[in-house]
Structure 1
Amino acid sequence: MENMSEYPLELHGETPPMVKFKKVRKSYGALTVLDDLDLEIAEGEMVSIIGPSGSGKTTVLRMLMTLETINGGCIYVDGKPLTHMARNGALVPASQRHLRERRADIGMCFQHFNLFPHMTALENCMEGPVQVLGLSENEARERSEELLEMVGMIAKKDQHPSRLSGGQQQRVAIARALAMRPKVLLFDEVTSALDPEVIGEVTTVIRKLVSAHKLTMLMVTHQMGFARDISDRICFFYGGRIEEQGPPADLFGAPRRARTQQFLSAVKEAV
Structure 2
Amino acid sequence: MEDLSRFPLRLEGPDAPMVRFDHVTKRYGDLVVLEDFCLDVAEGEMVTVIGPSGSGKTTVLRILMLERIQEGVIYVDGAPISHMEKKGRLVPASERYLRRAREPIGMCFQHFNLFPHMTAIQNCMEGPVQVLGLSRQDARERAEELLEMVGMIEKKDEHPSRLSGGQQQRVAIARALAMRPKVMLFDEVTSALDPEVIGEVTEVIRKLVHEHRLTMLMVTHQMGFAADISDRVCFFYGGRIEEQGTPEELFGNPQKERTQQFLSAVKSAG
Which category of TM-score, normalised to the shorter sequence, fits these structures?
Answer: over 0.9
| Counterpart amino acid of residue 242 in structure 1 | I
Matched, 1:6 2:20: no
Residue 72 (str. 1) matches residue 71 (str. 2): yes
Please give the residue correspondences for 1:76-91 in structure 2 after superposition, counting only pairs within 5 Å.
76-91=75-90
Aligned equivalents of 2:214, 2:14: Cα separation in 1: 19
Number of aligned residue pairs: 270
Task: Report the Cα offset of residue 30 of structure 1.
Answer: 2.2
Separation in structure 1 between the aligned mates of residue 246 and residue 257 of structure 2, nearest angstrom: 18
- Map residues 163-178 of structure 1 onto 2, 5 A cutoff: 163-178=162-177
SS at 1:117 equivalent? coil
Bigger drift between 222-231 and 29-38 goes to: 29-38
Distance 1:210 1:13 in 2: 24
Q: How does 1:141-152 map to 2 (within 5 A)?
A: 141-152=140-151
Q: Does 1:99 align with 2:102?
A: no
Report the CA distance between 1:46 and its aligned residue: 0.2
Q: Which residue of structure 2 aligns with residue 190 of structure 1?
A: 189
SS of the aligned residue for 2:107 comes to strand
Q: Distance in 2 between matches of 1:170 and 1:184?
A: 18
State whether structure 2 residue 59 is matched by structure 1 residue 59: yes
Write the distance in 2 (CA, Å) between the matches of 1:208 and 1:248: 19
In angstroms, what is the RMSD of aligned CA positions?
0.5
Partners of 1:13 and 1:105 lie apart in 2 by 19
Match of 1:24 in 2: 24
Aligned counterparts, 1:1-271, within 5 A? 1-65=1-65, 67-271=66-270
Letter in 2 for 1:223: Q
Q: 1:34 is aligned with what amino acid? A: L
Measure the CA separation in 2 of the matches of 1:13 and 1:143.
Answer: 32
Displacement of 1:29 in angstroms is 2.2
- Matched letter for residue 195 of structure 1: D
| Letter in structure 1 aligned against 2:9 | L
Q: CA deviation at 1:60?
A: 0.5
Give SS of 2:53's match.
Answer: coil
CA distance, structure 1, for counterparts of residue 50 and residue 232 of structure 2: 11
**TM-score normalised over the length of structure 1:** 0.99
SS of equivalent residue, structure 1 residue 13: coil
Q: CA offsets per residue over residues 165-219 of structure 1, 9 Å max, x none?
A: 0000000000000000000000000000000000000000000000000000000
Secondary structure of the 2:233 match is strand
- Counterpart CA distance in 2 for 1:145 and 1:29 is 44
Letter of the structure 2 residue corresponding to residue 200 of structure 1: G
* Shift of residue 13, structure 1, vs aligned partner: 2.4
In the alignment, the residues of structure 2 paired with residue 4 and residue 89 of structure 1 have an alpha-carbon distance, to the nearest angstrom, of 11
| 1:28 Cα deviation from its structure 2 partner | 1.6
What letter is aligned with 1:47?
V
* Separation (CA, whole Å) in 2 of partners of 1:48 and 1:14: 24
Give unpaired runs (5+ residues) of structure 1.
Answer: none
Distance of 1:163 and 1:157 partners within structure 2: 11
Q: Distance in 1 between matches of 2:107 and 2:155?
A: 22
* CA distance in structure 1 between the partners assigned to 2:14 and 2:107 by the alignment: 28
SS of match in other structure, 2:59:
helix
Q: TM-score, normalised by structure 2?
A: 0.99
Moved more, 23-32 or 85-94: 23-32
Please list every run of 5 or more consecutive structure 2 residues that lacks an aligned counterpart in the other structure.
none
Tell me the amino acid that sits aligned with residue 113 of structure 2: N
